[in-house]
Chain A
Amino acid sequence: METASGFRRAIRGVTLLCALVIISPLVAMVLFSFSGQVEAIPSIWTTKWYTFNSGDVLSSVAHTLEISVPAVLIALVIAAPLSYAMARWSFPGKQFINQMILLPMLVPGTVLGLALLELYNTGFMARIPGLTFLIAAHVVVVLPVVARPIIAALEQMDVELETASMSLGANPTQTVRKVTVPIVFPTVLVGAIFGLARSITDFAITLFLVPVGFLPMSIKIYNSTNYSIPQLTSSNAVILLVLSLIVVGLGEVAARRTSRG
Chain B
Amino acid sequence: MAEVEIRDLEKSYGIVKSVDGVSLDVADGELVTLLGSSGCGKTTTLRIVAGLISEDRGTVAIGGKGMRGVPPWRRNVGVVFQSYALFPHMTVRDNIAYGLRLRRWEGGKIRAQVEKLAQIVEIDRLLPRYPRELSGGQQQRVAVARALAIDPDVLLMDEPLSGLDANLRERVQYELRALQQAAGTTTIYVTHDQQEAFALSDRVAVMNNGRIEHVGTAAEVYNEPATAFTAGFIGSNNKFVATVVGTDSAGGGVITQAGAKLTFQSRRDGQPKAGNAVDVVIRANRIKVGTGDGPCSYPARVVGCTFSAAGWRITADIDGLQLRADLAETELPSGGRRGPQPGEEIWLSIDPADVWVFETEQEKG
Residues of A at under 8 Å CB distance from B?
Answer: 158, 160-161, 163-171, 174, 178-179, 182-183
Contacts and interface: CB of A to CB of B under 8 A. Distances in A.
A165 to B, nearest CB: 7
Contacts, number: 61
Nearest to A182: B89
Given A169-B73, A179-B87, A183-B88, A164 B81 contact: yes
B240 interface: no
B85 A166 contact: no
Contacts of B83: 158, 160
Interface residues of B, number: 25
Contacts of B99: 168-169
Interface in B73-121: 73-74, 76-79, 81, 83, 85-89, 98-99, 102-103
Given A161-B85, A170-B98, A179-B89, 8 more contacts: A161-B88, A163-B79, A163-B85, A167-B50, A168-B73, A171-B71, A174-B102, A183-B89
Contacts of A182: 89
Contact of A165 (B51, B74, B98): B98
B137 interface: no
Nearest to A174: B102
A164 B79 contact: yes
A47 to B, nearest CB: 46
A167 B72 CA distance: 5
Contacts of B98: 165, 168, 170, 178
Nearest to B50: A167
A163 B71 contact: no
B150 interface: yes
B52 interface: yes
Given A160-B81, A163-B81, A174-B102, A168 B150 contact: yes
B268 interface: no
Nearest to B75: A167
A166 B102 CA distance: 10
A188 B189 CA distance: 38
B85 A170 contact: no
Contacts of A179: 87, 89
8 contacts: A160-B85, A163-B79, A166-B52, A167-B51, A167-B73, A168-B78, A170-B102, A183-B88
A173 to B, nearest CB: 10
B115 to A, nearest CB: 18
Contacts of B81: 160, 163-164
B44 to A, nearest CB: 14
B87 to A, nearest CB: 6
Contacts of A165: 87, 98
Contacts of B52: 163, 166-167
B146 interface: yes
A243 B98 CA distance: 42
Contacts of A178: 98
B89 to A, nearest CB: 5
A167 B102 contact: no
Given A169-B73, A169-B150, A171-B71, A164 B102 contact: no
B73 A170 contact: yes
